[in-house]
A and B are shown apart, each in its own frame.
Chain A
């Protein structure tokens, strides 16, 4: 996982296979990053993601709920087609738009 700020937007780049094994290693780091005040939106970038299963959906929905309380948007970017298929099945785009 890598992150950067573009003005007041926090960009989080995920890498490799986003499954239970990966998510449990990065979840706390992501929560620390998104807890920072002054962020207007958070973007998950999937450019370098080779695989995602429902654990990745749980990561998104879990962060979405935390950010919703602070009215911070969560956006999904550079979603490859194999990841898109999982996302479309789950309806995640109805709360976290694809950009």
Chain B
């Protein structure tokens, strides 16, 4: 079969729909992941030994297992264990939340701990409650150091959504696979899929670079 690039046009709408699902899972998943990660990271940085240990176990379990196994666990093992049945889409979002959350927790913890202890003490010493020290002093400083590694994690998570092919979520990779199965246009389709991922990660990088620039001026 000869390579015919023009054929891609016929499948653009279908691929775009897949990309839309990818974006949806990524955005919602990362939103949850950032919240979960911030909580777990702050638990690690400020919690007493019990709170710290809870966050530590969560982070280590997630970082120590492949994301595919986590997805399988959520989708196939959870119904058996707890009779909770969740649909593929929810499973996908949840997997990103839980997986990205663990990595983001370590990023948050690292950024917080990189801010000198003396600054927190100076805040406490003028009578600020701990939460205000975090909110107004450590937080803004840590946030600047957070952006680059956070951006990295966003890109990783976006690409991780391609794994949801295993539970049949119609995201971009799965869509490509389905088209391929029908017409065997491997070169054209996988090139198109790759370019679409590149565009998405490229936009993400660009956005982060812009935020970074804004932060430096602040």
A binds B: no
Chain A positions within 8 Å of B, measured between CB atoms, are: none
Chain B positions within 8 Å of A, measured between CB atoms, are: none
